[in-house]
Structure 1
Amino acid sequence: MKILKKTKQFLRSNQLQYSKKYIRPMMTPESVYVFKFGKDELNNRIIINYTHTWTGRIKINEIDLRLHKQKHPRIFHRESDLLTYLKKHLTEEDGVTNITRRRKHHSKKTKK
């Protein structure tokens, strides 16, 4: 199962440890996948709520991010939004160094 492949690559490239756990709730059709990650302690969590489509594909309904045991999670609907948030908000205290942040270049159009 390839859930959040880019997020796993991001965590590995920044030398962050992570553990993953699959939870199947009894009363709801959604499945839950939990990542715990961090440099020394696994005190950050990503919780993925997903379902399967009728063709068998995985459809991510919601991604919750809780950094440093936050009470109210940040909610994302796409993995790309999660990665941009992580790149902005993880610091050296979290064990992340040398994050390559892509800059947006806007070229001015010249009139002739």
Structure 2
Amino acid sequence: MFIILSRTKQYLRKNGFYYKKEYMRPLMTPDNIYIFKFGRKQLDNRLIIRYSHKWTGRQRINEIDLRLHKQKHPRVFRTEAELLEYLQTHLMDHEARVHSETDQQGKEEVSNGASK
């Protein structure tokens, strides 16, 4: 059973976010990659989890990269607890700011188009 980021998934569901999971196994590296896209209206946020397996078969997260709304430089976390702490403090503010900016741009485009 694949249970990486179970607490993060619960947090996102509780706050009204949708998500999509993808699994990737690169040929050249021993790490596995789990891509997790999420968002409210569009899946424009992305988590990239690089993990490997211990000799006992348990999964070990090596790195978690978070890109909110197509950021160029990701935030890097070592554990899911650090990620959850960051999401709880920043995600709602970031969502509100990004969607208010896109709503304002949409209104400006409509008003510019109507005046022509």
Identify the TM-score tier after normalising by the shorter chain. Answer: 0.7 to 0.9
Q: Where do residues 23-42 of structure 1 align in structure 2 (5 Å cutoff)?
A: 23-42=24-43
- What is the CA distance between 1:8 and its match in structure 2? 0.4
In structure 1, what is the equivalent of residue 67 of structure 2?
66
Q: What is the letter of the counterpart of residue 37 of structure 1?
A: F
In structure 2, what is the equivalent of residue 75 of structure 1?
76
Instruction: Normalising by structure 1, report the TM-score.
Output: 0.81
Aligned counterparts of 1:14 and 1:61: Cα–Cα separation in 2: 27
Aligned length: 95
Aligned counterparts of 2:91 and 2:34: Cα–Cα separation in 1: 21
Instruction: Normalising by structure 2, report the TM-score.
Output: 0.79
In structure 1, list runs of 5 or more residues that go unmatched.
96-112
Q: What is the letter of the counterpart of residue 33 of structure 2?
A: V
- What is the CA distance between 1:93 and its match in structure 2? 6.5
The structure with the largest helix share of the pair is: 2
Q: 1:88 to 1:49 in 2, by over 3 A?
A: same
SS in 2 for 1:84: helix
In structure 2, what is the equivalent of residue 12 of structure 1?
13
SS in 1 for 2:26: coil
> Identity percentage over the alignment?
58
Q: Does 1:52 align with 2:76?
A: no
Q: What is the letter of the counterpart of residue 4 of structure 1?
A: L
Instruction: Say which structure, 1 or 2, has more relative contact order (CA 8 Å, 6+ apart).
Output: 1
SS in 1 for 2:83: helix
- What is the CA distance between 1:15 and its match in structure 2? 1.1
Q: 1:53 to 1:91 in 2, by over 3 A?
A: same
Aligned counterparts of 1:87 and 1:15: Cα–Cα separation in 2: 13
In structure 2, what is the equivalent of residue 43 of structure 1?
44
Aligned counterparts of 2:15 and 2:69: Cα–Cα separation in 1: 17
Q: What is the letter of the counterpart of residue 68 of structure 1?
A: H
Aligned counterparts of 2:19 and 2:60: Cα–Cα separation in 1: 23
